[in-house]
Structures are given as C-alpha cells and as structure tokens.
C-alpha cells in the first residue's frame, strides 16, 4: 500500500513537471518585441513579400526568419539573409533582397543573440551605431548587405560576440578610422572584414593580438600596409597571441617584401592565404612548421628561389596534410621536384605562370609521379616550359576535374589517355605543339571548357557535330589548321557562350545555328575563308 502511495505521488509530480515543460515550450513572443519587429518591417522595402508572415495576428515566434527562446519566448535570432547571387534561382540578387532603412526599434530586442542581414541591399546607409547596444549578440553578419561609410566604434561594446562579419563586395564601401574598438570583443572567434578599408588602422596587428580567442581572421584587400606604418621590421620579432588561429587570409594587401615570420609560429593554421601581396625572395624555412596546413595560397607574388629543385621540397614535403597548394604567378624556376608527390592528399595544385623548365630527371610530370598524387583533381601549370613523358598505354590512376597544361610540350599526337577522364570539366592544352586531328571522343565527354588554340590541329571539324555533350560552354580552337566547312551543329550546345574559330582554314558560309545560341557572348570567325552575308540579329561580340 505504501509503495502504491509513493508511486502515485511520483506520477503526480511527473505530470505536473510535464505540463510545466509543455507550457514553456509553447511560450509566445513578447508584445513589445512583436511591435519592435513590426516597426522594423515598416522601414523596409520588401517587394517580393519575404516578410509576408509578419502580421499582428500571428505569434511573432512563428514568423519567417524569427527564432524565439522555447523557455522565455524572447526573440533570440533574426535570420534575414538575402539570396546568394551565385546560386539565386532568379539570377538576380536584388530580386528578393531587402532594402530601405534599419529602424531603431531593433534595439528593443534585448535578448537577441544572432542577427543576420547579409546579402541584402542597404546601399547608401551606414551600419547603425545602435547595434552596439545589442549586448546579448553572439553573431553579427552584415556581409554583402550594401552598407557604406564608417564602421561604428560602438560595435566594440558587444563583448559576447563570437562572430563578426562585415565583408563588402565593393572595395572601400566601408572604412574605419582605427580598430581600437575591436579590443572590446574579448570573446571573438571569427572576424571577417574583407575589403573594408583599413588603410588608416595603423595598429591593426597590435589590436588583433589582444584577442587570443580568434580562430579565423579574414582581412583580404583591406589596404593593410606594414611598411608605411613602420611595422615591417617589428613584425619579424612580433609574437602572436592568437595561437588557436586556424584560418588566416591577408591576401591582396601590402605586407612588405618578406613574408612576416610571426605567421610561421601559428602552428594550428589549417588555411593560409597570402596571395596577391608583394612578397619576394625564397620560401622561408619556417614554413615547414605549419604541419596542420590544408590550404596554402602564395600565388601572385614575386617569390623565387635559386635552387628550386632542392630548396622547395624541404619546405613543402613536410606539409603532408595539404589539400590545396597554389604557387601560381611567381618567379620560381627550375624543375618541379619529385618529392612534391609526398603530399599524397593533394587535390588542387597550381604552379601556373612561373619559370619552370623541362629539365625533368624525375619530375612530377612523369606518369609515376602523377600516379603518386592519386587524390589530385585540379592541376594547373600553364605558362611553364614543361614536358609530359608518358607511355602510349598509360592510364592515370586519378580522375581530374581540371587540367591546365597550356604551353607544355605534349605533341605531336593528341594525348589519348585524356579519354579515360570521365569527370573532366576544364581542359587547357593551348600552345602544346599538338599536330593531329581532333579525336571524335573529345566532344562526347563531360567537358565544359576546351582550350586548344595555337596548335597545329588539322583536318575537318565534323567531329564537333557528332556529339552527345550538351554541357560545353567554352570552345577555343583559334590559330590552328582546321579546314572545310564549319558544321551546322551548334543547336547541340545550348549553354555555349564563347566560340573562337579564328585563324584556321575554314571555308563556306557561316552556319545559321551559331546565331541561335541565346547565351553567346563572343564569336571569333576572323582570318578564315568564309563567304556569305550575316543577316541574323546577333548580340554577341563578333570577330
């Protein structure tokens, strides 16, 4: 009997707790916060009704883009990210982007933790300074939202902030007088101020160094300048406190002639982008300290080394975690070292436009070393004088997505092993000395971009018409020796936007199907022996 009584009491307590929990889950939003959101909506321009669910008779916790606390009913998230212009189904970012003004009523959302207004169109207005009063914010994303003017220093009051993203897509839309206010963001982990003008923020490095919690720093194309602010020498003895940093992007700035040595003390780095600076000289030996690196981009600098074949491997062969390595557009010379094949996880390798030569005793462009890079998907090395020597029966172990080998010595036969590449999107074999006919299988592949200009391709071009490839978008066959009539087959390529057939030996009339390509932007037919008038309406650039 006693046990039954205890069980009844336990059951009663459980029911009470369950009812209490259910009531909490169904908490409705506060009237004052609903009104704040309605006032915010009044000042917005929303031509496509993204906020059509925001009406007075509906609980604001059920409105699109509004998230409330299950326990209190307070608004804790406002998710109003606009459409990404790269994936927008309408093809136009502005078609559903919010615009207008930002009402001060938002400051009444005192429990707001997460505010995302990115990818909208608030062109011509500054970032509201009252955002600095939203002390509960942990996430603030205003990237690509069109804000202009000075970044308000009041943002430094957001001491709970974990993520601050102010990326702008137009250089200098946003500026700062200084970055001292950043020091107030003592819990910040992710900082993105891409393309914000920081040219007057002479103490940017010292300020950032006061935030040891930082995990990601994105400051590309911010007009950062270590030299004119007399920090060039100091950076060599500078000690970075943000030792937890995993992502550092300082591309497109003016950081001096030599890569700052303090960077190589950030041993937790997984991604390092120093591209498009003015760095000179050899790769520092301390680079080998960054053994956690998965992405390294040093492209578009003036890096060089006198002993490329022996020096480069000692810096890179230890970076075995690398997935992407970009050394393009530098001044490296010599041969590609075979030890680069030790980076077996490499998926993206770009060595384009250096001074690499064809002296290859055991270079990466032999079939054995390519096979050792079985994970490689993107291999860009155009603009070098390299030679690929493989057997006629060779089939690569890897399946490439991009091959950029322009100016290599590949000829005279067209490389038959390319036929084995089932997922190849981009093929650049321009300036490669190929003197052959175009194989019929090339136009039955998955290729979207074909660059075969400046070779000695000859014969008829009828293979173009015998295809099952409807994804081809870019075709460059300029400056070859192709002859006969241009086939009237272009309706088979509905996505084609660039066709270059210049400087061949084509004869006959221009096929009508060329002028029915709705996306065509460029058509090169010059320096052939074509006849007949052009009588079609045509918007593309014609050469």
> Could you tell me the pTM of the whole model?
0.89
* Contact assessment for residue 457 and residue 480, using Cβ atoms and an 8 Å cutoff: yes
Digit-by-digit pLDDT tens for the chain (543 residues) are 455 545 454 555 455 444 444 444 557 899 999 999 999 999 999 999 999 999 999 999 999 999 999 999 999 999 999 988 766 544 444 458 999 999 999 999 999 999 999 999 999 899 999 999 999 999 999 999 999 999 999 999 999 999 999 999 988 899 999 999 999 999 999 999 999 999 999 889 999 999 999 999 999 999 998 765 545 444 446 788 988 999 999 999 998 888 998 999 999 999 999 999 999 988 888 999 999 999 999 999 998 865 444 345 457 888 999 999 999 999 888 777 777 888 999 999 999 999 877 544 444 577 877 888 899 999 999 999 888 888 889 999 999 999 999 999 998 999 999 999 999 999 999 999 999 999 989 988 899 999 999 999 999 887 787 676 789 999 999 999 999 999 999 998 999 999 999 999 999 999 999 988 999 999 999 999 999 776 556 666 767
* Amino acid 311: pLDDT: 44
8 Å CB contact between 536 and 510: no
- Alpha-carbon gap, residue 166 to 44, rounded angstroms: 20
> How many of the other CB atoms lie within 10 Å of CB of 432?
22
For residues 214 and 190, what is the distance between their CA atoms, to the nearest angstrom?
Answer: 6
Phi, psi of 357 (to 5 degrees): -110, 180
- Supply the Cα-derived Rg of the chain in whole angstroms: 30
φ and ψ of 245, to 5 deg: -60, 130
- Is 292 in contact with 314 (CB distance < 8 Å)? no
Domain 26-123 CATH (choose: 3.90.230.10, 3.80.10.10, 3.90.1490.10, 3.30.1330.10):
3.80.10.10
- Rounded-to-integer distance, Cα 378 and Cα 426, Å: 9
User: In which residue are the tokens 């940017």 written?
Assistant: 204
> How far apart (Å, rounded) are the C-alpha atoms in residues 59 and 34?
8
Closest CA to 170 of 208, 202, 124, 226: 124
What is the pLDDT at residue 385?
87
All structural domains of the chain with their residue ranges: 26-123
Dihedral sign, Cα of residue 173, residue 177, residue 183, residue 185: negative
Instruction: Find the length of the chain.
Output: 543
Are the C-beta atoms of residues 341 and 367 closer than 8 Å to each other?
Answer: no
d(CA 241, CA 62): 44
The per-residue b/e assignment along 452-473, b for 16 or more CB within 10 angstroms, e otherwise, is bbbbebeeebebbeebebeebb
Q: What pLDDT, on the 0 to 100 scale, is given for residue 171?
A: 84
Q: Which residues lie across from 541 on neighbouring strands? A: 522
Whether the CB-CB separation of 464 and 441 falls below 8 Å is answered with: no
Q: Give, in order, the Cα–Cα distances in Å from 541 to each of 283, 477, 497, 524, 538.
A: 43, 17, 10, 8, 9
Dmax of the chain from CA atoms?
Answer: 108
Residue 217: HSE in the Cβ half-sphere, 13 Å Cα cutoff: 27
């Amino acid at each position: 009997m006693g046990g039954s009584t205890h069980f009844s009491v336990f059951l009663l307590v459980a029911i009470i707790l369950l009812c209490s929990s259910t009531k909490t889950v169904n908490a409705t939003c506060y009237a004052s916060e609903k009104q704040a959101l309605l006032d915010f909506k009044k000042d917005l321009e929303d031509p496509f009704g993204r906020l059509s669910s925001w009406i007075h008779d509906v609980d604001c916790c059920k409105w699109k883009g509004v998230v409330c606390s299950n326990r209190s009913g307070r608004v804790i998230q406002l998710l109003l990210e606009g459409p990404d212009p790269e994936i927008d189904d309408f093809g136009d970012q502005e078609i559903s982007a919010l615009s207008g003004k930002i009402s001060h009523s938002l400051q009444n959302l005192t429990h707001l933790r997460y505010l995302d207004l990115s990818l909208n169109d608030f062109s011509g207005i500054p970032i509201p300074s009252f955002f600095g009063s939203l002390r509960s914010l942990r996430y603030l994303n205003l990237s690509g939202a069109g804000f202009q003017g000075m970044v308000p220093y009041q943002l430094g009051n957001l001491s709970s902030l974990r993520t601050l993203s102010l990326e702008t897509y137009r250089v200098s839309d946003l500026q700062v007088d200084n970055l001292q206010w950043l020091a107030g963001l003592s819990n910040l982990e992710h900082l993105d101020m891409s393309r914000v003008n920081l040219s007057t923020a002479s103490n940017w490095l010292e300020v950032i160094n006061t935030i040891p919690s930082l995990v990601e720093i994105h400051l590309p194309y911010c007009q950062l300048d270590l030299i004119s602010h007399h920090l060039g020498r100091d950076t060599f003895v500078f000690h970075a406190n943000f030792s937890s940093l995993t992502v550092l992007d300082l591309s497109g700035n003016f950081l001096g002639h030599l890569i700052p040595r303090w960077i190589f003390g950030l041993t937790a780095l997984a991604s390092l982008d120093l591209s498009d600076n003015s760095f000179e000289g050899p790769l520092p030996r301390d680079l080998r300290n960054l053994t956690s690196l998965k992405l390294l981009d040093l492209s578009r600098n003036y890096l060089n080394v006198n002993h490329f074949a022996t020096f480069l491997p000692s810096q890179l062969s230890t970076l075995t975690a690398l997935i992407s390595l970009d050394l393009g557009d530098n001044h490296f010379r010599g041969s590609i070292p075979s030890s680069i094949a030790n980076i077996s996880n490499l998926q993206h390798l770009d060595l384009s436009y250096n001074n690499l030569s064809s002296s290859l005793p055991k270079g990466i462009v032999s079939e054995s070393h390519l096979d050792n890079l079985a994970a490689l998907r993107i291999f860009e090395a155009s603009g070098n004088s390299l030679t690929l020597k493989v057997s006629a029966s060779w089939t690569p172990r890897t399946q490439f997505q991009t091959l950029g080998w322009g100016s290599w010595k590949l000829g005279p036969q067209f490389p038959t092993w390319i036929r084995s590449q089932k997922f190849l999107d981009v093929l650049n074999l321009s300036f490669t000395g190929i003197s052959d006919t175009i194989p019929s299988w090339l136009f039955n592949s998955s290729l979207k971009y074909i660059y075969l200009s400046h070779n000695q391709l000859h014969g008829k071009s009828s293979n173009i018409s015998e295809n099952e490839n409807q994804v081809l978008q870019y075709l460059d066959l300029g400056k070859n020796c192709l002859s006969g009539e241009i086939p009237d087959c272009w309706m088979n390529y509905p996505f084609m936007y660039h066709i270059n057939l210049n400087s061949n030996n084509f004869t006959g009339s221009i096929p009508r199907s060329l002028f029915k390509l709705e996306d065509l932007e460029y058509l090169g037919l010059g320096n052939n022996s074509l006849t007949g008038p052009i009588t079609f309406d045509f918007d593309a650039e014609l050469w």
